[in-house]
């Protein structure tokens, strides 16, 4: 990576990181949906997959707006979070306990995205780019809602998981 001279340089690096993160998630979310036992959780993952497709589209719009390409960087954090999600998918577990673990893995992803989009939206604001800022805030809101949905679904699943195999 060349020397970062301004916040704008770092902003572009962060957008590249996000673009990679979302692209990786596009591949991981269908696997999470497939591994989920609860129909509600499956649906939440599928819904977030379509949102993620739109989020990739927004980043591409941002790329066009800024005249910068966002390819060529790998988000290592997302790679690690997805790797942990894969461990959950492959783990031998009572279905409801696996669902609880899938929710935990997914919420870690959402929180990473919330932090990244939150920072990026702040930078866009400081750079006086309203268009890019609003595109980033749109996604930030979706990530927040995805996280809240998971919290809601977890309310029942975690309680059922307390009982574990007894309810199988
Ligand atoms: Fe996302
Ligand atoms: Fe997300």
Encode pLDDT of 16-42 as tens digits.
999 999 999 999 999 999 999 999 999
- What pLDDT was estimated at residue 10? 98
Distance 38 CA to ligand 1 centre (A): 22
- What percent of the chain is modeled with pLDDT above 70? 98
For residue 104, give both structure tokens.
């935990």
Distance 164 CA to ligand 2 centre (A): 28
Q: Is the pLDDT of residue 167 over 60?
A: no
pLDDT by residue (tens digit) across 117-158? Answer: 999 999 999 999 999 999 999 999 999 999 999 999 999 999
Asked if 133 and 125 touch (Cβ cutoff 8 Å), the reply is yes
Asked if 142 and 55 touch (Cβ cutoff 8 Å), the reply is yes
Distance 141 CA to ligand 1 centre (A): 10
Distance 149 CA to ligand 1 centre (A): 14
For residue 11, give both structure tokens.
């902003």
Instruction: In whole angstroms, give the CA distance from residue 95 to residue 23.
Output: 28
Ligand lying nearest the CA atom of residue 23: 1
Distance 47 CA to ligand 1 centre (A): 11
Q: Is the pLDDT of residue 168 over 50?
A: no
- 41-62 exposure pattern, b = at least 16 Cβ within 10 A, e = fewer: bbebbbbbbebbeebbebbeeb
Distance 20 CA to ligand 1 centre (A): 10
Nearest in space to 25 (alpha carbons), one of 54, 1, 67: 54
Q: Is the pLDDT of residue 166 over 70?
A: no
pLDDT by residue (tens digit) across 53-106? Answer: 999 999 999 999 999 999 999 999 999 999 999 999 999 999 999 999 999 999
- The pTM is what? 0.95
């Amino acid at each position: 990576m060349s020397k970062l001279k301004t916040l704008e340089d770092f902003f572009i690096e962060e957008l590249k990181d996000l673009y990679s993160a979302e692209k990786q998630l596009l591949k991981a979310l269908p696997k999470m949906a497939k591994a989920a036992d609860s129909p509600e959780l499956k649906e939440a993952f599928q819904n977030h997959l379509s949102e993620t497709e739109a989020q990739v589209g927004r980043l591409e719009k941002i790329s066009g707006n800024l005249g910068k390409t966002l390819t060529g960087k790998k988000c290592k954090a997302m790679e690690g979070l997805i790797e942990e999600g894969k461990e959950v998918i492959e783990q031998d577990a009572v279905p409801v306990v696996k669902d609880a673990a899938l929710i935990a893995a997914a919420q870690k992803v959402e929180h990473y995205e919330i932090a990244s989009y939150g920072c990026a939206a702040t930078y866009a604001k400081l750079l006086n780019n309203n268009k890019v800022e609003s595109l980033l805030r749109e996604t930030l809101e979706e990530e927040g809602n995805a996280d809240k949905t998971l919290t809601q679904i977890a309310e029942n699943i975690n309680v059922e998981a307390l009982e574990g195999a007894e309810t199988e």
